[in-house]
Chains A and B, each alone.
Chain A
Amino acid sequence: MPHVSFRERRFEGDVDYVVVGSGAGGAAAAVVLARAGAKVALVEAGAWREPEQYPSSAYGAMRDLMDDWGATVTMGRALWPVVQARTMGGTTVVNSAIAIRTPADIFTQWEREHGVGGEGLRDQVWAEQAVLERELCVEEVPVGSRGRSNELAMKGAEAMGFESHWIRRYAKGCEGTGQCLQGCRKRKKQSTNVVWVPEVMERGGLVLSCAPVSRVVLEGRRAVGVEGRFQHPATRELGASFLVRATKGVVVAASVTHSPVLLMRSGVKNRALGQFFRAHPGTGVFGVYDEPVDQNVGATQGWASTHYRETPGLKLETLSVPLELVASRFAGGGVELMKRLGQYRHVAMWCHAVRAESTGTIGHAPFSSKPVVRYTLNADDMERFRQGMYLLGQMHFAAGARAIIPGIAGLPFQLEAKDVELLRNGPTDPRKYIAILSHLFGGCVMGADPTRSVVDGEGRVHGYEGLVVADASVIPTNLGVNPQHTIMALARLFANAMLARA
């Protein structure tokens, strides 16, 4: 019985290792453990959908793939959505599979500020990332799949004279269907549900889907398993309970928001648990072009720039947005809104992700496992945010846009080139912007000091045996680049360290 889905009879299993979460961290750790001959159970809260079962519409993606319909928002000055998936494969199913090696300065920063990292970890992470790039077929977006929005972005960056690149992704032979956010039905994206989860099963592992874990079972200070109750993916009704016992260890990789909450609800005591939450908040600026852009054609994200990563602290990317989401994002209502939506074919959306220094916290709602994220950008980060808007506006005009749509409350809906300075002096109140938090970090941060960190440099929870965290929640600082490559490499290292200890 290698795969167990929703059921109404109690399930119990015994394995060497149990891994909670099947996303970038969980699946990467599970496959390393399984390849070493260990019996592994991979326990995923969401349902397991094959690519041909992915939805096409944004409605279907919200319902079938996103955590709580994407309705988790930050509690702070502004209510910004926190985007995470809840499906077999986790967020690797709905992201753009962007592979960027962890920048060298990150390891220096981790060593200086947290007592882990340095050149030793850098070399190990980069070696793992080189393996991942081969294994997951990392390649640049092919010429025929770039689409006009990505090509215009390259043109804009070249005209402004800053460095940028075609994105390298875990995608084999992308056909440019523009459906990355709804899951790649063409099986080109190498998400973990396509590559690693089946391998875990083939190697004798056990996979549980529709199985949200409610508690890590602890015997004293030793983790010995996980338990929870199956949840029906359509009705959300609870089914039978399950218990998976693990003789060698428990790996928690349930996401930045869920991992800290799971540890809290399991009774893990640590002052840093749920602290030091960080993110890359970001938003986009639409450019309006005379010729149709058809942003839905081509790779969802095909162009990026890390030129401004250090100063002021921004990553720039293209992002094609489905009509359904543009329809709710454009400002206004009534006939005026419908006229604006008539421009859809002519708009291209490019966005920025701020390497924010602000920190927040993760807790959970009373009597619930629902995560509560408290987070507000400080003044410096809002300044970066504003600079990003200005850069994107300039880029669109450099690429030939006739107007831009910045989506800032209080500014005109559409700006012409002569008005672009309005963005430079735009508001620094986060409530004026429609933004999201896409890349999340922290909550179970790693470090040498148990009073300021939750796990050590090998992912082990301080003061506990057999309990490892292996997802983005261990990352103690903002990376300033897309985190999936780093998460996977760290998870592989942590899994190898578990095997070495065993």
Chain B
Amino acid sequence: MTWLVRSAMCALYPRTEGLPGLEDCDVDGFLERFQRESPLLMWVGVLAGALVFHLTPVFTVFVPLPAFLLPVSLLDRHSSRIASSDWYLVRQAIFLVKFPCGLCWGEHPEVRRRLALAAYPQDPGTWRVD
């Protein structure tokens, strides 16, 4: 199921002339880490959001195909429209996908370099035991 999440994330944050997209940000490594470290309920929410993303092109671009089968131009239009849906629960479901997207994309050194931000040092992930 991870590929479903990955493809929704990459469609929402695509590569552009000015900025790297999620596919340039080691999204696979990030997802492996996120799935392992985040609460199960959060991961289930992200999965559900990705499902909503893939099953709704018929409402946004009026094509009865899952999003992962859409051509690039239609996929981009779908990404834009579904993320701004008038339906609150749909917007929230997509937000669940956008949340890890933001975490992954915004911490990537190349993205930060392009936006004149200092690269983050590695998070220690340690705690005091003595």
**A binding-site residues for B, Cβ under 8 Å:** 3, 5-6, 47-50, 52-60, 62-64, 68-69, 71, 78-79, 88, 209-210, 233-234, 236, 292, 294, 296, 322-329, 331-339, 341-342, 344-345, 409-410, 431
A344–B86 touching, CB < 8 Å: no
A323–B112 touching, CB < 8 Å: yes
Q: Which residues on B sit within 8 Å (CB–CB) of A336?
A: 76, 80
B94–A333 touching, CB < 8 Å: yes
Q: Which residues on A sit within 8 Å (CB–CB) of B84?
A: 331-333, 409
Interface size class for chain B?
35 or more
Q: Which residues on A sit within 8 Å (CB–CB) of B128?
A: 3, 5, 47-50, 53, 88, 209
Q: Which residues on A sit within 8 Å (CB–CB) of B18?
A: 338-339, 342
- Indicate which residue in A49, A210, A338 contacts B21 across the interface (CB closer than 8 Å): A338
CB distance from A75 to the nearest CB of B (A): 13
Q: A6 to B128, alpha carbons, bound, how many Å?
A: 10
Q: Which residues on B sit within 8 Å (CB–CB) of A431?
A: 88
Q: Which residues on A sit within 8 Å (CB–CB) of B78?
A: 334
Q: A326 to B105, alpha carbons, bound, how many Å?
A: 11
Nearest chain A residue, comparing its CB with the CB of B105: A327
Q: Which of B39, B91, B116, B124 gathers most chain A CB within 10 Å?
A: B124
B120–A68 touching, CB < 8 Å: no
Q: Which residues on A sit within 8 Å (CB–CB) of B3?
A: none
Interface residues of B in 60-106 (CB under 8 A from A): 75-80, 82-84, 86, 88, 91-92, 94-95, 98-99, 101-106
For the complex, is B42 an interface residue (Cβ under 8 Å from A)? Answer: yes
Q: Which residues on B sit within 8 Å (CB–CB) of A341?
A: 19
Q: A331 to B80, alpha carbons, bound, how many Å?
A: 9
Q: Which residues on B sit within 8 Å (CB–CB) of A210?
A: 127
Q: Which of B107, B112, B130 gathers most chain A CB within 10 Å?
A: B107
- Indicate which residue in B19, B83, B126 contacts A331 across the interface (CB closer than 8 Å): B83
Q: Which residues on B sit within 8 Å (CB–CB) of A236?
A: 39
CB distance from B85 to the nearest CB of A (A): 9
B117–A327 touching, CB < 8 Å: no
Q: Which residues on A sit within 8 Å (CB–CB) of B107?
A: 57-59, 324
Q: Which residues on A sit within 8 Å (CB–CB) of B21?
A: 338
Q: Which residues on A sit within 8 Å (CB–CB) of B1?
A: none
Q: Top 9 nearest A-B pairs by Cβ distance?
A: A328-B102, A324-B106, A60-B123, A327-B102, A334-B79, A333-B83, A333-B79, A47-B127, A55-B123
A335–B125 touching, CB < 8 Å: no
Please name 4 further chain A to chain B contacts, defined as beta carbons within 8 Å, in addition to the given A63-B37, A64-B125, sorted by A numbering: A58-B102, A328-B99, A329-B102, A409-B91
Q: A62 to B78, alpha carbons, bound, how many Å?
A: 29
Query: What would 18 A/B residue contacts be, using CB atoms closer than 8 Å?
Result: A5-B129, A49-B128, A59-B107, A209-B128, A323-B106, A324-B103, A324-B106, A328-B99, A328-B103, A333-B80, A333-B82, A334-B83, A336-B80, A338-B13, A338-B14, A342-B16, A342-B19, A345-B116
Q: Which residues on A sit within 8 Å (CB–CB) of B104?
A: 59
* Known A58-B103, A324-B105, A344-B115; contact A339-B80, beta-carbon cutoff 8 A: no
- Indicate which residue in A47, A60, A69, A332 contacts B42 across the interface (CB closer than 8 Å): A69
Nearest chain B residue, comparing its CB with the CB of A193: B128
Q: A206 to B78, alpha carbons, bound, how many Å?
A: 56
* Known A337-B13, A338-B19; contact A60-B127, beta-carbon cutoff 8 A: no
A233–B106 touching, CB < 8 Å: no
Q: Which residues on A sit within 8 Å (CB–CB) of B106?
A: 58, 322-327
B16–A296 touching, CB < 8 Å: no
* Known A56-B120, A59-B107; contact A334-B80, beta-carbon cutoff 8 A: yes
Nearest chain B residue, comparing its CB with the CB of A50: B128
Q: A98 to B11, alpha carbons, bound, how many Å?
A: 40
Q: Which residues on B sit within 8 Å (CB–CB) of A5?
A: 127-130
CB distance from A160 to the nearest CB of B (A): 30
B12–A325 touching, CB < 8 Å: no
CB distance from A200 to the nearest CB of B (A): 14
A56–B121 touching, CB < 8 Å: yes
CB distance from B26 to the nearest CB of A (A): 13
Q: Which residues on A sit within 8 Å (CB–CB) of B102?
A: 58, 323-329
* Known A327-B106, A338-B21; contact A53-B127, beta-carbon cutoff 8 A: yes
CB distance from A378 to the nearest CB of B (A): 19
Q: Which of B126, B128, B129 gathers most chain A CB within 10 Å?
A: B128
Q: A233 to B18, alpha carbons, bound, how many Å?
A: 39
Nearest chain B residue, comparing its CB with the CB of A236: B39
Q: Which residues on B sit within 8 Å (CB–CB) of A68?
A: 39
Q: A337 to B82, alpha carbons, bound, how many Å?
A: 12
Q: A209 to B117, alpha carbons, bound, how many Å?
A: 34
* Known A328-B98, A334-B77, A342-B19; contact A296-B117, beta-carbon cutoff 8 A: yes
